[in-house]
Structure 1
Amino acid sequence: MTLLNRITIDPTICHGKPCIRGMRWPVEVVLDLLGSGMTIDNILEDHPELERDDIIAALNYARILLSGQIPAAA
């Protein structure tokens, strides 16, 4: 599984926002947690359903969007 395959878009989950592995974990929420000062380890400790690669995938997804590229929907 490539990292970006961890990002899914489903109109029936979180109003079609990009989410982590089909769960109700929008990419924007993961980015908010990081932006609030939490480390990856803090997030994983508080939310064991997430994996390190999920967080890295969220960061890569955001980077691709900001670069002007459009990532393929998983």
Structure 2
Amino acid sequence: MNAAAPPTNSLLSRITIDPEVCHGKPVIRGLRYPVESMLEYLSSGDTFEEVLAEFPDLERDDLRACIEFANQSLKLRSWQLVAA
């Protein structure tokens, strides 16, 4: 049986922003793993399991937090796509 997913605000608490860590970029739990980098791994096709095997000090909810952070960030901005 799977445990219930943590609430969104609980996930977002895993993302930290500190000007002294990675030049103020959002990172996972202050561990110097930028959210941007984790999203790049996932968007290139790596699975959660592959990323977690590569970075054993991360947890599944850390990756879920990255996705939720990106989701919330997009809600804050208005994007305009230009057709090529």
Residue 9 of structure 1: CA displacement?
0.3
* Matched-pair identity in %: 51
Gaps of 5+ in 1: 70-74
What is residue 13 of structure 2 aligned with on the other side? Answer: 5
Residue 35 of structure 1: CA displacement?
1.1
Matched, 1:45 2:53: yes
What is the aligned counterpart of 1:24 among 7, 32, 39?
Answer: 32
- Give the total of aligned pairs: 69
Runs of 4+ in structure 1 deviating by more than 2 angstroms, as ranges, are none
Matched, 1:68 2:82: no
Residue 43 of structure 1: CA displacement?
0.5
Tell which has more relative contact order, 1 or 2 (C-alpha 8 A, sep 6+). Answer: 1
CA-based RMSD of the aligned residues comes to 1.3
Q: For residues 64 and 2 of structure 1, what CA distance do their matches in structure 2 show?
A: 13
Gaps of 5+ in 2: 1-8, 78-84
Q: For residues 54 and 39 of structure 2, what CA distance do their matches in structure 1 show?
A: 15
